[in-house]
Amino acid sequence: MAKEHILVIEDEQDIQELLRYNLSSEGYTVTCVSSGEEGLQKARAISPDLILLDRMLPNMEGLDVCRELKKDTSTEDIPVIMLTAKGEEADIISGLEMGADDYIPKPFSPKVVIARVRAVLRREKTPEAPADVLRRGDLVINPGKHEVTINNDQVALTITEFKILHLLARKPGWVFNRDQIVDSVHGENYAVTDRSVDVQITGLRKKLGVSSALIETVRGVGYRFKEL
């Protein structure tokens, strides 16, 4: 099997080297560039399997690079993980809105980076058909039957609650912001606003009972399904 190729767009030399060293040790082919402009060029030239993109770059910043990548049909499908300064929630949100697949706050440990890279590449390889039955621990979601069970006991959910749970559970560990959640249930004659997402989540957790901890709040960003 060909080694997966990772493009690192990062202007700080020591971080670049840290990533190069650790990703290479894991068997990935690594290409590093120091600016957004070079990053876009390389992305088009080598079609990497994944891009690690620093948020803070000279001249052209990470968010703009991400936007350009997602606008170009030759690069739009390449998953992007943003490297963001710690605690800058606004940055995380705008990164996700710009189409980034995940984010890693700085400073980070190489282990975390490797784990996230693996997770994102794995998701890319195994796209789940929406009608597939999902099993997450004791929880089973059957989209065909529109049925949720915990330890074989049926859980009565509203259509909106079901959709939100299904959305989150399809990608454990993946953070969805409120807008993305609203979008996913949009068009079903349900007036879902930002705030009412929180209300839906509260209702959903209540009905999930002992399994309510499966839905995690990511402060200032949104929600995710726990990685089991």
The residues that touch Ca ion, with contacts defined as CB under 5 A, are 11, 54, 56
CA triple 216-173-205, angle to 5 deg: 25
CA triple 88-109-16, angle to 5 deg: 85
In terms of CB distance, is 4 or 91 closer to Ca ion? 91
DSSP state of 213: G
What span, in angstroms and rounded, lies between the C-alpha atoms of 40 and 72? Answer: 10
**C-beta of 159: minimal distance to Ca ion in Å?**
44
In terms of CB distance, is 11 or 138 closer to Ca ion? 11
- Going by C-alpha positions, the residue among 123, 153, 160 that lies closest to residue 138 is 153
**C-beta of 98: minimal distance to Ca ion in Å?**
17
**C-beta of 49: minimal distance to Ca ion in Å?**
23
| Residue 198, both tokens | 């929180």
In terms of CB distance, is 56 or 114 closer to Ca ion? 56
In terms of CB distance, is 16 or 177 closer to Ca ion? 16
**C-beta of 83: minimal distance to Ca ion in Å?**
8
Residue number of the CB atom closest to Ca ion: 56
Looking at residue 173, its amino acid is: G
